[in-house]
């Protein structure tokens, strides 16, 4: 790799922490350089716990400790961080690695804007780093940064005498300062050499949806392919497109509504333009969710969030204590979004549906499906009320349409009849006739006893497969309930709770009074 940042036998690999593009560049550099020593920007005081956390990957861990001020510090160990990947590779290839940063407290929060990491895919890693260093050649002036950089320079000088090829991974903003101090012999900076009370915990599943540096969906894909050659072609734009396609499939499965290609194109166009307005090349996860809501609805946005925030290597059984963290615990720049999921009903449920928790569904869904329908099966009463109400509305609306078809509009002579027809009267006056028109409603005799509603005709595909293969006839259970025949998705396929299965209608028929189809 040309134009490397080097000092003697030390190759610098500047990174932005947690960003996948730098992790990919690390793996490329590793293959080309084949180092015999690795140094990272972690303090020696945390080495034992950090190494243990890295050995647990792909399970997520948090290393934590309490500062002298009483405030807790949390260090998330995640697979998309280049430092973490460097230590993993060192462990796997059995080469020595060193933690050379200075242990510091009350380090100020830095939100300095940085170039979008995705530009590395287009212009190359070395040009990205060189461009940044040309703009910021002097580095940081903070007292804590100066001490840290001198501390790291001292250890690098010492390691350069022991090894032939050293790979050093550090934050991009620290490179100018460290290079400056490398040109002069450095003494060891006075600082903490031991820290008590350092702990390690497993990160809770809820927290992994919120605080990872990269979208959990992207982190999961990288973890799956890191030991293959597919990581070389990892592109976050392609991952975003893949996420939207999978979310669209889940949306169809759960709602039986398709997201069109036009909607998907508009989604990506809107998200891209929004990202460009904010100085980024690629939309972030939040922008994808909002764009999904804009082109479809909250249900689709929820599917995007559900899939994108899922880290596939979580576990409910950990040998470590489980820790819940929120964005504010790590001082992250949070954005909140509320989903108002659309429920296809005309009135509120009279009885709350129990166990609507997605995590319980995920945990017990297979068990619920296995036990479903063992002995008997029946319709769910709260849903019966909704369907009966919908059927009554359809009947009333059908009668109203038939009545409107029988209305005659006639010129006013001697009787106002069933009222003045405003539309025809205004048309008459505009045309200069200046006549009044009235309505003669002749009514409609008869009642509607049956309703047939077809949402999807479900014509068999070439292989004979049907989307709504379950066909059932149910008799009314009491005098206020219609007989019903319908075709739908199979019962037991999607579970909403113990003994409760969610089915999507392809079409149904209601007929009243009950027992007419007996």
Span 122-136, pLDDT tens digits: 888 888 888 888 888
Q: Is position 222 within any domain?
A: no
Are residue 16 and residue 123 in the same domain, yes or no? yes
Cis peptide leading into residue 254 (ω within 30°): no
Are residue 45 and residue 186 in the same domain, yes or no? yes
For residues 208 and 79, is the Cβ–Cβ distance under 8 A? no
Question: For residue 12, which of 141, 143, 181, 231 has the smallest C-alpha distance?
Answer: 181
pTM of the model as a whole: 0.68
Note down the domain range covering 12. 5-203
Are residue 377 and residue 417 in the same domain, yes or no? no
Question: For residue 115, which of 135, 140, 85, 86 has the smallest C-alpha distance?
Answer: 135
Residues whose CB is less than 8 angstroms from the CB of residue 496 and which lie 6 or more positions away in sequence, other chains included: 353, 355, 356, 361, 502
Are residue 191 and residue 241 in the same domain, yes or no? no
Q: So what's the pLDDT on residue 443?
A: 66
Q: Let me know how long the chain is.
A: 518
Question: For residue 176, which of 113, 133, 144 has the smallest C-alpha distance?
Answer: 133
Please tell me the total count of domains within the chain.
Answer: 4
Q: Give the C-alpha distances (Å, rounded to integers) separating 313 from 15, 41, 316, 349.
A: 25, 26, 10, 37
Q: So what's the pLDDT on residue 375?
A: 59
Q: What is the sign of the dihedral through the CA atoms of 147, 148, 153 and 155?
A: positive
Tens digit of each residue's pLDDT (9 = 90 or more) over 32-86:
888 889 999 999 888 899 999 999 989 999 898 888 888 888 888 999 999 999 9
Angle, in degrees to the nearest 10, between helices 20-33 and 216-225? 20
How far apart are the C-alpha atoms of 304 and 299, rounded to whole Å? 9
DSSP class of 458: -
Are residue 467 and residue 490 in the same domain, yes or no? yes
Are residue 180 and residue 250 in the same domain, yes or no? no
Are residue 54 and residue 196 in the same domain, yes or no? yes
pLDDT (tens digit, 0 to 9) for every residue of the chain, 518 residues total? Answer: 557 888 888 899 999 888 999 999 999 988 888 888 999 999 988 889 999 999 998 999 989 888 888 888 888 899 999 999 999 999 999 999 999 888 888 776 776 778 889 999 888 888 888 888 888 877 777 888 888 888 888 899 899 888 889 999 988 888 888 888 888 887 788 878 888 888 999 988 888 888 888 899 999 999 999 888 888 888 999 999 999 999 999 888 887 788 888 889 999 999 999 999 988 899 999 899 999 998 888 888 989 998 998 998 888 778 888 888 876 655 454 555 554 444 433 333 333 434 445 555 566 666 666 666 655 677 777 777 888 888 888 888 888 787 777 788 888 888 888 788 888 889 888 888 888 888 887 766 777 778 888 888 887 777 778 888 888 888 877 777 888 888 888 877 777 777 777 788 888 888 887 787 76
Q: Is position 216 within any domain?
A: no
Q: Is position 258 within any domain?
A: yes
Give the end-to-end CA distance of the chain in Å, rounded to a whole number: 79
Chain Cα centroid distance, residue 470: 32
How far apart are the C-alpha atoms of 117 and 234, rounded to whole Å? 13
Are residue 128 and residue 143 in the same domain, yes or no? yes
For residues 489 and 461, is the Cβ–Cβ distance under 8 A? no
């Amino acid at each position: 790799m040309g134009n490397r940042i080097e000092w003697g036998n030390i190759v610098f690999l500047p990174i932005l922490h947690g960003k996948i593009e730098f992790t990919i560049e690390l793996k490329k550099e590793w293959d080309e350089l084949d180092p015999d020593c690795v140094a990272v920007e972690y303090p020696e005081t945390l080495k034992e716990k950090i190494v243990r956390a890295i050995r647990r990957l792909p399970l997520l861990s948090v290393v934590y400790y309490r500062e002298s001020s009483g405030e807790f510090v949390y260090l998330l160990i995640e697979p998309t961080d280049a430092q973490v990947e460097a230590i993993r590779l060192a462990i796997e290839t059995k080469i020595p690695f060193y933690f050379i940063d200075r242990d510091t407290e009350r380090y100020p929060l830095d939100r300095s804007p940085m170039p979008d990491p995705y530009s590395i895919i287009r212009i190359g890693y070395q040009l990205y780093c060189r461009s940044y260093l040309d703009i910021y050649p002097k580095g940081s002036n903070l007292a804590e940064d100066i001490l840290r950089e001198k501390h790291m320079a001292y250890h690098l000088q010492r390691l350069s005498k022991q090894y032939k090829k050293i790979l050093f991974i550090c934050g991009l903003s620290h490179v100018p300062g460290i290079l400056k101090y490398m040109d002069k012999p450095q003494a060891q900076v006075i600082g903490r050499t031991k820290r008590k009370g350092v702990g390690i915990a497993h990160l809770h599943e809820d927290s992994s949806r919120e605080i990872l540096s990269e979208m959990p969906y992207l982190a999961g894909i990288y973890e799956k392919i890191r030991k293959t050659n597919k990581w070389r072609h990892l592109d976050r734009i392609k991952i975003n497109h893949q996420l939207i396609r999978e979310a669209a499939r889940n949306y169809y499965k759960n709602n039986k509504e398709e997201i069109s290609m036009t909607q998907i194109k508009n989604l990506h166009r809107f998200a891209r333009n929004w990202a460009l307005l904010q100085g980024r090349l690629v939309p972030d996860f939040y922008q994808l969710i909002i764009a999904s809501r804009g082109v479809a609805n909250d249900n689709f946005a929820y599917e995007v969030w559900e899939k994108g925030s899922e880290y596939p290597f979580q576990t409910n059984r950990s040998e470590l204590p489980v820790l819940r963290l929120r964005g504010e615990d790590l001082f992250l720049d949070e954005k909140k979004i509320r989903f108002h999921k659309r429920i296809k009903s005309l009135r509120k449920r009279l009885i709350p549906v129990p166990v609507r928790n997605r995590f319980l569904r995920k945990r017990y869904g297979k068990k619920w499906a296995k036990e479903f329908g063992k002995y008997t099966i029946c319709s769910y009463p709260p849903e019966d009320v909704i369907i009966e109400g919908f059927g009554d509305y359809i009947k009333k609306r059908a009668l109203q349409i038939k009545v409107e078809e029988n209305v005659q509009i006639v010129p006013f002579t001697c009787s106002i009849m069933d009222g003045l027809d405003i539309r025809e009267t205004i048309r008459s006056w505009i045309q200069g006739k200046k006549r009044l028109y009235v309505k003669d409603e002749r009514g409609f005799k008869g009642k509607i006893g049956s309703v047939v509603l077809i949402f999807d005709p479900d014509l068999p595909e070439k292989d004979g497969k049907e989307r709504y293969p379950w066909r059932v006839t149910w008799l009314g259970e009491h005098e206020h309930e219609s007989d019903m025949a319908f075709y739908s998705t199979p019962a037991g396929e999607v579970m909403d709770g113990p003994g409760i299965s969610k089915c999507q209608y392809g079409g149904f028929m209601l007929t009243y009074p009950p027992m007419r189809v007996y």
